[in-house]
Amino acid sequence: MYDLIVRRARIADERCDIGVQGGRIAAIAPEIPEAGAREVSAEGRMASAPFIESHIHLDTTLTAGEPKWNESGTLFEGIETWALRKASLTREDVMRRATRLLRWHAAQGVLHVRSHVDTTDPNLTAVKALLEVRETLKDLVDVQLVAFPQEGLLSYPNGVELLEEALRMGVDVVGAIPHYELTRDLGAESVKVAFRLAAQYDRPIDAHCDETDDPQSRFLEEMAAEAIRQGLGSRVTASHTTAFGSYDDAYAFKLMGFLRRAQINFVANPLVNITLQGRMDTYPKRRGLTRVKELWQNGLNVSLGYDDVMDPWYSLGTGNMLQPAHMAVHACQMTGRSEVMACYDMVTTNAARTLGIEERYGLAVGQPADFIIVDAEDKWDAIRRLAATTLVVKGGRVVAETTAARTTLLGEAVSFSRE
C-alpha cells in the first residue's frame, strides 16, 4: 500500500506509475499493481523533478513602481530605485512580498529557490525577514539565502561587517558584486574577501560578477583563479557574467580554458539581462548575455534564473521557470534539438548542481517525493508550449493542482499537441 500513486505519467516517452511512501519515491514502474491511499492520474502528461529557481531577489520582489518606475531600464537606475525603496523596508513588508512570490513558485512546481538578499542596510531588515520566511515556508519550498552586498562589499560603509553578520545569523551563501565596487582594485579585493569569508564560515560562494557590457570587467578570472587555487570548484557560482558576451574572442578562448579547470557554476538570467544590458548601445545592439551555449558546450554547469519578479530591474514575471528557459532558447540561440532540451535541464538538474543539492534531487526511487506533472509530452514540448504544471508533489503530499486550459474552436476541442 502506497501513500500516493500518480498513475499514467510520461517519463522519457514511457508510461509510468509513481508510487510514494513515507515521503519518498518508493516505485516507478509501467504499472504498479498495488493501490494507493490516494491515487491521481497524470493523464499521460510528463513527470519531472521539480523546477529550481537558482537566482532570484526575494527582498526586492513585488516593489515595481515603488517609489518610482525605472524609466531608463538600466541596472544602475534599478540600484538607485531600490536604495530609495530600501529606506522604508519593514519586516512585515519583506515577509509579505517574499511569501507571496514563494507561494507562486510552489504553485508552479518550483520547490528549491536560491535568493540573494541585500546586506547593504545597517539594520539588515531584509536578512532578518527572509531568514524567518525560509523557516516558515520550509515544508513547501526549500530556500537558500545569499548575502549580497548590493551597494558594494568594500564601497559601502561597514560592508564586510554587515555581510559577516548576515552569515553569523544563518545566511547560507557568500555573495559579492566586484564590478560595482568603486575601483577595479577594490573589485579584485572584494573577490578575495568573499573567498576568505567562505572559508572562515564554511559557506559556498555565489557572486554577481561582471554584470555590465564593459569588456574590461574581468572579475570572472579572479573568481576562477581563487577557485582553482583553493580547489573549491562546484562550491563557487558566478552569476550574470554578462561582460563575457562582450569579451574579444582571443581573451574569451583563454578564459574558457581556465574555467574548464576551475569547474565553477554559472547562472544566466536571460529575461532580465536581455533587457538591462545593451542600453548604451545604439546599433548594432548587444544581447548582453553571457556565453551560455559555449559554456554548456565546454561541459560547464550552467543554470538559468529569473533574477527579478516585478521589481526595479524587471517589472514583469510570475516565477514560472519555463519563461527564462524559453528566453534562453531565443536570446542564446539554443535552438537545436539537444539545445532546447538543455535549456530545460538548466532550470532543473543543472540548477540542483548549482545549489549543491543533487544528492536529494531527482525523479528516482529513494529520492524525496518532490516532483511535478507538466502538461507536455517532453522537455521540448514543455518549453514550446510554456506548459502549465498541473500537479506538484512535495514531501509525498499533493500541494498544488492546476487545471490545464481547455479551448474549443467553433464548438470543437483544440489541442496544441502536435498530433
Binding interface with ligand 17E (CB under 6 A): 57, 75, 150, 177, 208, 211, 272, 307-308, 313
Coil, strand, or helix at residue 159? helix
Residue 239 CB-half CA count within 13 A? 29
d(CA 89, CA 223): 32
CB of 173 to ligand 17E, least distance (A): 15
By CB under 5 A, what part of segment 288-327 binds Fe ion? 307
Q: Which is nearer to Fe ion, 26 or 272 (CB)?
A: 272
Q: Which of 53, 211, 222, 377 is flagged as catalytic? A: 211
401 classed as catalytic: no
CB of 103 to Fe ion, least distance (A): 21
Q: Output the residue with the shortest Cβ distance to ligand 17E.
A: 313
Coil, strand, or helix at residue 1? coil
d(CA 55, CA 113): 7
Q: Which is nearer to Fe ion, 268 or 343 (CB)?
A: 268
If contact means CB under 5 to 8 A according to the sort of partner, which of Fe ion, ligand 17E, none does residue 150 touch?
ligand 17E
Q: Which is nearer to ligand 17E, 64 or 95 (CB)?
A: 64
CB of 176 to ligand 17E, least distance (A): 11
d(CA 140, CA 143): 9
Rg (CA), the chain: 21
CB of 177 to ligand 17E, least distance (A): 6
Q: Would you list the DSSP string of 168-235?
A: HHT--EE---GGGSSSHHHHHHHHHHHHHHHHHHT--EEEEE--SS-TT--HHHHHHHHHHHHT-GGG
Q: Which is nearer to Fe ion, 17 or 307 (CB)?
A: 307
Convert residues 387-416 into a mask of x (bound to Fe ion by CB under 5 A) and - (unbound).
------------------------------
Work out the burial of residue 163: count CB atoms within 10 Å of its CB; fewer than 13 is exposed, 13-18 middle, 19 or more buried.
Answer: buried
If contact means CB under 5 to 8 A according to the sort of partner, which of Fe ion, ligand 17E, none does residue 320 touch?
none
**Spacing of C-alpha 408 from chain mean position:** 35
If contact means CB under 5 to 8 A according to the sort of partner, which of Fe ion, ligand 17E, none does residue 211 touch?
ligand 17E
**Spacing of C-alpha 115 from chain mean position:** 8
What's the helix, strand, coil split of the chain in %, to 5? 35, 25, 40
If contact means CB under 5 to 8 A according to the sort of partner, which of Fe ion, ligand 17E, none does residue 313 touch?
ligand 17E
Q: Which is nearer to ligand 17E, 32 or 332 (CB)?
A: 332
If contact means CB under 5 to 8 A according to the sort of partner, which of Fe ion, ligand 17E, none does residue 272 touch?
ligand 17E
- The grid coordinates of residue 340 equal 532546447
Residues lying near Fe ion in the complex (CB under 5 A): 307
Which amino acids are annotated catalytic?
A: 211
